[in-house]
């Protein structure tokens, strides 16, 4: 058990797969009570079944919820409060990248991307803030991307939105500090996820298996560690930032990119 989170209560948005599911799994392993949400009910049910073995049904709840819909968030907040009596950790994890250049990104695409990246954090944070204010060790962790600092022209809308989210994390960290709520983020590089699995399914060379395709991708992207990250590695960084082990850390970010970052900060 990396950290003792017994009696801590946590929410993970987008918790039914990938990094969200790995984070929920690690939080349960550390002793926390965990609530996950997701939009796909089948995937959510599968995730719930896999997590019950770790925490039992008494320490786990899963709720179908779209984080962009305020009514759903309000309902989710009420369910968490009824079940857990409060909240200590919020992991804002919902969202994925959009592949497009400036030339082929329509106005509505910009709106959709900014809406997802900003309000996917704003609405859960706003909803759960009253519960976090009552915690003795409130923590918010936002899953962001290295694109926030190292934009890519083929992901122009996502890069811009990710940079805005990084700024938002810093602003919230300052505003929430007097409430004893810490706000941090992780900056992801290329991590094995459903998004990359879908790109693998549409690969140009069908003779490549998953491992060979990932090796080729890591080489093309010049990742120094020469591989994609694992969801569990991102989860380790998230849980560290959410735990008392980082009690004096707020407004910060952890790079989880395998050395892909080229900037000096």
pLDDT digits over 13-65, tens only? 999 999 999 999 999 999 999 999 999 999 999 999 999 988 778 999 999 99
Is residue 87 domain-shared with residue 209, that is, in the same domain? no
Is residue 34 domain-shared with residue 129, that is, in the same domain? yes
Close Cβ partners of 63 (under 8 Å, ≥ 6 residues apart): 35, 36, 37, 44, 75, 76, 79
Lowest-pLDDT choice from 37-46, 182-191, 194-203: 194-203
On the question of pLDDT at 194 being above 60, the answer is yes
Is residue 106 domain-shared with residue 215, that is, in the same domain? no
Is residue 224 domain-shared with residue 100, that is, in the same domain? no
Mind listing the pLDDT tens digit for each residue in 256-265?
999 998 876 6
Separation CA 127–CA 155 (nearest Å): 30
On the question of pLDDT at 211 being above 90, the answer is no
Is residue 213 domain-shared with residue 159, that is, in the same domain? no
Mind listing the pLDDT tens digit for each residue in 66-78?
999 999 999 999 9
Is residue 127 domain-shared with residue 214, that is, in the same domain? no
Q: Decide: residue 180, CB within 10 A, 0-12 exposed, 13-18 middle, 19+ buried.
A: middle
- Would 2 be classed as within a structural domain? no
Q: pTM for the full model?
A: 0.94
Query: Please, which pLDDT band fits residue 1 given cuts at 50, 70 and 90?
Result: low
Query: Please, which pLDDT band fits residue 193 given cuts at 50, 70 and 90?
Result: confident
What is the residue range of 54's domain? 9-190+230-256
- Would 221 be classed as within a structural domain? yes
On the question of pLDDT at 221 being above 60, the answer is yes
Could you give the C-alpha distances from 153 to 99, 147, 176, in angstroms and in order?
A: 9, 10, 34
How many Cα atoms within 13 Å fall on the side-chain side of residue 238?
31
Is residue 62 domain-shared with residue 148, that is, in the same domain? yes
Write down the number of H helices and E strands in the chain.
9, 7
Which pLDDT belongs to residue 265?
61
* CATH number for 22: 3.40.50.720
Is residue 239 domain-shared with residue 120, that is, in the same domain? yes
- Would 4 be classed as within a structural domain? no
Is residue 125 domain-shared with residue 199, that is, in the same domain? no
Which pLDDT belongs to residue 84?
97
When divided into structural domains, the chain yields a total of 2
Is residue 16 domain-shared with residue 146, that is, in the same domain? yes
- Would 182 be classed as within a structural domain? yes
Q: Nearest-CA neighbor of 190 among 172, 163, 215, 169?
A: 215
Is residue 140 domain-shared with residue 75, that is, in the same domain? yes
- Would 3 be classed as within a structural domain? no
On the question of pLDDT at 179 being above 60, the answer is yes
């Amino acid at each position: 058990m990396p950290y003792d989170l017994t009696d801590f209560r946590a929410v993970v948005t987008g918790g039914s797969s990938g990094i969200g599911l790995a984070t929920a799994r690690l939080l349960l392993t550390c002793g926390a009570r965990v609530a996950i949400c997701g939009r796909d009910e089948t995937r959510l049910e599968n995730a719930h079944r896999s997590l019950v073995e770790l925490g039992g049904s008494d320490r786990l709840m899963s709720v179908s919820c779209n984080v962009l819909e305020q009514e759903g968030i309000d309902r989710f907040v009420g369910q968490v409060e009824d079940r857990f009596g409060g909240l200590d950790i919020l992991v804002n994890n919902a969202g994925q990248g959009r592949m497009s250049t400036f030339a082929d990104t329509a106005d509505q695409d910009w709106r959709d991307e900014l809406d997802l990246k900003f309000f996917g954090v704003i609405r859960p944070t706003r909803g759960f803030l009253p519960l976090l204010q009552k915690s003795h060790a409130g923590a918010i962790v936002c899953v962001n991307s290295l694109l926030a600092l190292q934009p890519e022209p083929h992901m122009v809308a996502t890069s811009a939105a990710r940079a805005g989210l990084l700024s938002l994390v810093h602003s919230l960290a300052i505003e929430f500090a007097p409430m004893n709520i810490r706000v941090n983020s992780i900056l992801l590089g290329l991590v094995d996820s459903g998004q990359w699995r879908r790109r693998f399914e549409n690969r140009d060379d069908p003779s490549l298996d998953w491992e060979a395709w990932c090796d080729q991708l890591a080489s093309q992207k010049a990742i120094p560690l020469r591989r994609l990250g694992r969801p569990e590695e991102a989860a380790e960084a998230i849980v560290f930032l959410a735990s008392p082990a980082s009690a004096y850390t707020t407004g910060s970010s952890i790079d989880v990119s395998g050395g892909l970052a080229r900037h000096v900060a």
